[in-house]
Structure 1
């Protein structure tokens, strides 16, 4: 089918949860989905930021159906309460978008003792999907959309040190956390298909998405004229976070997308309209993905079961 990122199909009556929907790419995923008439739930640990994001969406989308649920992926013990707070008996899709990147900072851990980026980006979403499984199972054709990253595609895991306790470098730990997250999406697909379940699992990545190229959405995102001018050269190969949201939005809405696929920007994988990408290397290794799944189950104490 022809896909127009600016003319999305209608989705009235459907409910989508977007983790990290209060800022960055997650905000634009939420805004674009809200424009389809769907109910969009912003998963955010900061109510004030979520309220600001909801207000910005309502300012641009007439009659937007948007609300907030408190969600702290660093606190695994809080996730069951967050899912209960949805107040729903079914869910059409969850976009696992939220994440943290600790640049130029020492190694940090969650309250449970997990490396912060691995704990939030991967383990938090692993446990969240486990908690959401009954709601997703109740909705035929539901979707789990996992947002990886361009650097995650090229990362390598140390299977004996998934949380980078040795030789810690922030970018190394971040790229490994995103690779683990993407492997989860592909392993989830394999398990869903083996069970004959109609829920689908799709992996996406936003390419190179910069704040300086992102359309303004005050107070969520404010861009000055000087910042915009300085970033013009980068537009040749990169894009704003509004465009970075396109693969996740398509993966949520497009009925032709199949479970187990990966979608990213068309031009060099860094910018442009979303297209399907080949799944290669470590991403296509079921043994590595199964190992990451087993370790994740042991670390979180839960498992996505449909």
Structure 2
């Protein structure tokens, strides 16, 4: 487990410059991922938005270029639930260096029935976990060839209190949508920590960092038309919730810091300062099952078997 240390001061509104760097943000066309992409673009870096819908990705690109003067943004198609699409995305990047991948995209189904991908995997587990595992497997050579590159995995604070059933990763026996979603996010976080262990064991310079966004509401999120439009009524009604929660622009801060801050170390967990649900990004302890290397290694093996891939680190 990485030791906690005192990181350097960090101003979420005055980010360090990152000209010449390339960042890939999955799900960067909407929600928290959009604001991760917008904030990274403001540093002068090149940001690649990866998403299922090219039209929505194009709208996100246009929005960022409108708000960030001289923004370098492009998009590639990525359907994390479809392994051939993941491979095609990796091939389409055509980059000489990749400084960070922000594994942000996810799907949440809020009611039955249980849905499967064409490969026969449960949709949320396949999208949130298996697809990102496959993406990193295919991008591993590019990441390891880039000095001080990073893999930033976005989990969920709710995953801290969930358990993972290795004998039913696909939720075939007892499908409950919200629990299945949280377990998929737990799997993502375990992957991020295990990836760092393996990178360290191999002597690699790539860092694997895990983050979570806390609690974020659309009604607390500033408008970015046509991607997100918040009415005056929604803003006023959401004011009481702002005492406990935050908008998606603030929920992006932990992932942005994990991608940019030179004081960040591999194997760390970053989340919001106030009760883990709102505020500026701070370092959190890695405890309980999140720190279980046996569980993470078993999940890694199961994931490699399901995808037929093994990240070459």
User: TM-score per shorter chain, which class?
Assistant: over 0.9
Partner of 2:126: 119
Aligned to 2:199: 192
Residues in 2 aligned to 1:91 and 1:35: alpha-carbon distance in whole angstroms = 17
The counterpart of 1:230, out of the listed 212, 224, 237, is: 237
Equivalent residue for 1:283?
290
Shift of 1:89: 2.6
Aligned counterpart in structure 2 of residue 3 of structure 1, from 10, 18, 42:
10
Partner of 2:140: 133
- Alpha-carbon distance in 2 for matches of 1:226, 1:165: 42
3-state DSSP of counterpart to 1:132? helix
What is the CA distance between 1:78 and its match in structure 2?
2.0
Question: How far, CA to CA, are the matches of 1:86 and 1:295 in structure 2?
Answer: 28
Task: Please give the alpha-carbon distance, in whole angstroms, between the structure 2 residues aligned to 1:50 and 1:258.
Answer: 31
| 1:163 CA drift (Å) | 1.5
Residue 212 of structure 1: aligned partner: 219
Pick one of 295, 300, 306 that aligns with 2:302.
295
Does residue 67 of structure 1 match 2:67? no
**Structure 1 portions without partners, runs of 5+:** none
Per the alignment, residue 92 of structure 1 pairs with 99
Say which SS state the counterpart of residue 62 (structure 1) adopts: coil
Shift of 1:105: 3.1
Alignment of 1:244-283 (within 5 A): 244-283=251-290
Find the counterpart in structure 2 of residue 145 from structure 1: 152
Matched position secondary structure for 2:249: helix
- Give, in whole Å, the separation in 1 of the partners of 2:159 and 2:83: 23
Q: What is residue 4 of structure 2 aligned with on the other side?
A: none
CA-based RMSD of the aligned residues comes to 0.7
Deviations 1:101-146 (A, max 9, x none): 0012311111111111000000000000000001101101000000
Counterpart CA distance in 1 for 2:12 and 2:127 is: 29
1:110 maps to which residue?
A: 117
1:305 counterpart = 2:312: yes
Structure 1 runs (4+) greater than 4 angstroms displaced: none
Q: In structure 1, what is the equivalent of residue 41 of structure 2? A: 34
Quick one: distance in 2 between partners of 1:257 and 1:127? 25
Gaps (5+ residues) in structure 2?
Answer: 1-7
- SS at the partner of 1:111? coil
Q: 1-side partners of 2:88 and 2:280: how far apart?
A: 37
For 1:80 and 1:171, the matched residues in 2 are separated by 29
Within the alignment, does 1:44 sit opposite 2:51 as a pair? yes
* In structure 1, distance between residues paired with 2:228 and 2:187: 29
Q: 2-side partners of 1:119 and 1:17: how far apart? A: 20
- Calculate the TM-score normalised by the size of structure 1: 0.99
1:55 to 38, 57, 62: 62
Q: Distance in 2 between matches of 1:106 and 1:23?
A: 25
Task: Name the CA distance, whole Å, in 2 between partners of 1:153 and 1:218.
Answer: 34
